A = this chain, B = another copy of it.
Amino acid sequence: MATIRAVYRVRGRPDEAERTARFIALEQTVEVPETLVGPAQRVGEVVSIVPLRGASEITIDYDASLASGQLPQLLNLVYGNVSMRPGTRLADLVLPEELVARFPGPRFGVEGVRALLGVFGRPLLCTALKPRGAHDAEFASIAREFALGGGDVLKDDHNLVDADAGAFRRRLRVVRDAIAEANAATGRFCLYLPHVGAPVDRLEEYLDAVILLGLRGVLVPSLLLGLDTVRALAQRHRLVVMAHPSFTGAFYVDRRHGIEPGLLLGTIARLAGVDASILAHRGGRFPATARDCASIARRLREPLGSLRPSLPVPGGGVRLEHLPDLARRYGRDAVILIAGALLGLGPDLRGETARFVDRIRLRFGETLAPPQP
């Protein structure tokens, strides 16, 4: 019988660990006292308890059928109620192939995004349209200059939220036209990902606008829309999905609690069909650790059933001088997100973009193919 293996790091005295392990195994599956468990109940099985300093590593196997092949229920199973138990961290998760197979996963993934752009062998460069409050014409100008400079991916800032679908369409059209003009001049394909942060019951209206305008992807704030909303969206539409980590930090900045960020922004994001997952890079505005960044990048690209690997997108205050560190840490299959710093370099956005892409080429080389937008 296939099992889902969950590893929890739980704070507390070693002599309490066995009780805690049993508590979690019951709480996450049947949520009744031990005495009420009958043979029909599939309680989690405590596989091992390893004492650590001031904590224990508890491994529990769950019958895979308990996830019902559904993302909300998988999360409920591995971290639903225990999220309310202090000092309880979901540190690792091993999913059986037959469960992973229930999720199509990223539609494009690393290779699909590369084929779309026709850019191989090096990290992609991404910037953001910002700040909120700027006129559409200013956004169009940023888009044009970035694309003319050879930038690969342009995303909306995740604070860009339009008053209604009409304003959303108008803004997107202006930006799309600016990029199309630049693409025609360069012969390349700069991919534009508008931020779709609309109310979920109007999401389809916004996605229709994206598709009707011929755009090929979106930026989604996964946890704000709901991870399963992203999964449904990615399954329904042939769009590149880049995920923004807004609101996710509560799950991982406390290292004693929550969910290991590689699982949340990597493994779970891939189940949700995310092609590219933004993370706070350690040298930027948020004090991310090197270990967390490495874990997210690894989870996004490691084998996971037959799901495509996805692109890590280190950002959150990345600057030109981070390039060697980024190159070393993420390698070629990544998207480097440099937004505020690039916009702040001065009026010559086109030139600065070209210089940045040149620096990437110098380090990695580059193979180009005709874009397939």
Interface residues of A (CB under 8 A from B): 23, 27-33, 35-38, 40-42, 66, 68, 70-73, 75-77, 79-86, 128, 130-135, 157-159, 161-163, 197-201, 221, 224-229, 231-232, 235-236, 245-251, 253-254, 256-259, 280, 285-288, 316, 339-341, 343-344
Contacts and interface: CB of A to CB of B under 8 A. Distances in A.
Given A68-B161, A132-B30, A229 B200 contact: yes
B280 A84 contact: yes
A286 B250 contact: no
A38 to B, nearest CB: 8
A201 B236 contact: yes
A36 B344 contact: yes
A37 B131 contact: yes
A257 B256 CA distance: 12
A31 to B, nearest CB: 6
Nearest to A341: B33
Given A201-B235, A251-B250, A72 B32 contact: no
Given A36-B344, A70-B198, 4 more contacts: A31-B339, A36-B343, A199-B228, A201-B232
B200 A228 contact: yes
Nearest to A340: B32
A193 to B, nearest CB: 16
A218 to B, nearest CB: 14
A108 B236 CA distance: 34
A321 B161 CA distance: 50
A225 to B, nearest CB: 6
B131 A68 contact: no
A224 B257 contact: no
Contact of A254 (B40, B247, B254): B254
Nearest to A254: B254
A226 B184 CA distance: 40
B257 A41 contact: no
B221 A200 contact: no
A268 to B, nearest CB: 12
B131 A31 contact: yes
B343 A32 contact: yes
A285 B66 CA distance: 22
A146 to B, nearest CB: 15
A351 B159 CA distance: 56
Given A254-B254, A257-B253, A70 B235 contact: no
14 contacts: A30-B132, A31-B339, A35-B344, A36-B131, A41-B132, A66-B132, A76-B158, A76-B159, A79-B250, A82-B249, A84-B286, A200-B229, A200-B232, A226-B228
